[in-house]
Amino acid sequence: MVLRWTLPTLALVLFGPLLAIPVAGLHDPTGGQAATLVLSDAPVMGIVSLVLIALVASAGGAFTARVTAPGTGRTFAGLCIAWAAIRSADSWRLFQIHGAGASIPLAIEGVLVAAATAAIVAALVVGGRFRTREGFITDVRAAVLSGNAAIGIVVGIAAGIAGAVLVALDGDRGQCLAAGFFGSTLAAVAVQLATPTLPPEQARLRATASVLVLMILAPLIPLVMPGGGEISDAARAGTLLGPGIVLPLDWMVGVFLGVPTGMAWVGSVSERAQHAQQPGSRPTPAGR
């Protein structure tokens, strides 16, 4: 019980702030801090920062999962990554500076972040001794390669976009981070509702796959938005909204904090429904 609280707290107050330092040190062409891992004056340092994030989140998260529980390991990783995400660029400022030129580099960054995310997920499951390597590979194949996988992933992507549309109403870092979290939560909910017979761990991986795709696709959305006008002008006017301003690191946080939240919510509702259907069960009086 002590470790279950102590290790995530260390991620929150020690490892996360340390990982945020190199990200905060990245600058945009004007010398400001509207920079991301790739879209900055030092993209090599940004990639090094991503490697450091992946190493700490993988090792610390796997150790935490091993000595406590898989969910606590995911929390450790998510809190570490959240610090780096919160020190990334203000999205409106980013698009004001780069305009449409930001979309392709951000999509490339999404590919790199998606690869790092997949590595962390594997480390938490296998390194945390939740599943064997062979069992993890079997779950991945069932989650992303089975007959109905494509439908489930597309449903998850659509739900993630809807969540970002509801929350990403400002280019502020906190709001974009919240959009990544909420979009990932809805993606997990939608995947489970669309494929209710899928085992929980495979559903988690399918929801994760949906969010990985969003890391790459979301930055490209401003390029195809009808009636949006010039992207830099839209950012300046405050009309550039939705998933297009949610950065890859925001979605990365969503994988480790938002997806588990969606999984837990559906599991809780399902458990209550099953309990209510049991013979002899009585509805709980209002107010109790």
- What pLDDT score was predicted for residue 285? 44
- What pLDDT score was predicted for residue 202? 95
Q: Which one-letter amino acid corresponds to residue 18?
A: L
The 10 Å Cβ neighbour count of residue 158 is 15
Q: Which one-letter amino acid corresponds to residue 152?
A: G
Give the closest residue to 256 by CA, choosing from 147, 121, 166: 121
What distances in angstroms separate CA 197 from CA 114, 202, 258, one per listed residue? 27, 10, 21
89 close to 35: Cβ distance less than 8 angstroms: yes
Whole-angstrom distance, CA of residue 86 vs CA of residue 253: 10
Whole-angstrom distance, CA of residue 197 vs CA of residue 203: 9
Tokens of 44: 């090599």
Give the closest residue to 210 by CA, choosing from 257, 169, 251: 251
DSSP assignment of 164-214 equals: HHHH--S--HHHHHHHHHHHHHHHHHHHHHHSTTS-HHHHHHHHHHHHHHH
Each residue's pLDDT, cut to its tens digit, for the chain (288 residues) gives 788 999 999 999 999 999 999 999 999 988 888 899 999 999 999 999 999 999 999 999 999 999 999 999 999 999 999 999 999 999 999 999 999 899 999 999 999 999 999 999 999 999 998 889 999 999 999 999 988 899 999 999 999 999 999 999 999 999 999 999 999 999 999 999 999 999 999 999 999 999 999 999 999 998 887 544 589 888 988 889 999 999 999 999 999 999 999 999 997 776 665 555 665 555 444 443
Q: Which one-letter amino acid corresponds to residue 278?
A: Q
- What pLDDT score was predicted for residue 120? 98
DSSP assignment of 217-240 equals: HGGGHHHH-TT---HHHHHHHT--
Burial 177-193 (b: 16+ CB within 10 A, else e): bbbbbbbbbbbbbbbbe
Tokens of 196: 């209710």
The 10 Å Cβ neighbour count of residue 140 is 20
Sequence spans of domains, the chain: 2-269
- What pLDDT score was predicted for residue 56? 97
Whole-angstrom distance, CA of residue 179 vs CA of residue 98: 22
- HSE on the CB side for 106, CA within 13 Å? 32
Tokens of 106: 């951000």
